[in-house]
Amino acid sequence: MSRPKGRAKIVAEQKKLEELAARKAAQAKKKGIIVALTAAGIVAAVGAAVVFAPPPPGIDVPALPPSHLTSLTEPHIPYTSSPPSSGPHVGAGLPPGFDSPDPIPPEAYVHLLEDGGIVLTYDCPDGCEELRAGLRRFMEERAGRMVLTPYEGIVDPDGNARRAAVVAWGRILYLDELNDDTLSDMETFVSLYAGIDYHAG
């Protein structure tokens, strides 16, 4: 059998090179499609996670300017939530872990919120020692600037009376009882909003 010579040999080599190049191009195209589909899948998964992720616990409350008062009784603009989560206050702070049997006026505790603290409030005209004890336990088990106080008239933005509220600067988590779900929400709330210094705005 004679070998291809001259032009025939060049044509055969050219054909082999073209076939190899075509195979490589097909492989590259296939790889590009796989990469593109993978990237699109990742983007879709992240987008779905963002769209369908539950919102953080609590509600935003329009923050009032943190003006300083000379006394607890000095007149000032009205607070925008019950319990208040921002606004006018005296400059003295409260010690962390403070559990007051008597209501702490908002003018006294709002400074703690401005410093990144959390205020746990409860309103139980008929008594709620179990709820109060649970809030106290929650506070004692966590390091950080947190105080516990009764607050008369906890009312959510829809006008519903509530038994308790966890308050940060400009955000409130309303609740009526402590159970696994509400404790989990409180834990998330504190992890998201505690420790933020709002003096810088």
The pLDDT, as a whole number, for residue 32 is: 72
Please count the CA atoms within 13 angstroms of the CA of 168 that sit on its side-chain side.
22
Query: Please, are residues 178 and 131 in contact by the beta-carbon 8 Å criterion?
Result: yes
CATH of domain 59-200: 3.40.30
The residues of the chain scoring below 50 in pLDDT are 50
Please count the CA atoms within 13 angstroms of the CA of 89 that sit on its side-chain side.
25
Where are the chain's structural domains? 1-53, 59-200
**Distance (Å, rounded) from C-alpha 125 to C-alpha 4?**
105
Share of the chain above pLDDT 90, in %: 51
Q: What are phi and psi of 161, to 5 degrees?
A: -70, 135
Residue 186: closest CA among 53, 57, 55: 57
Per the prediction, the chain carries an average pLDDT of 84
**Distance (Å, rounded) from C-alpha 5 to C-alpha 170?**
87
The pLDDT, as a whole number, for residue 144 is: 76
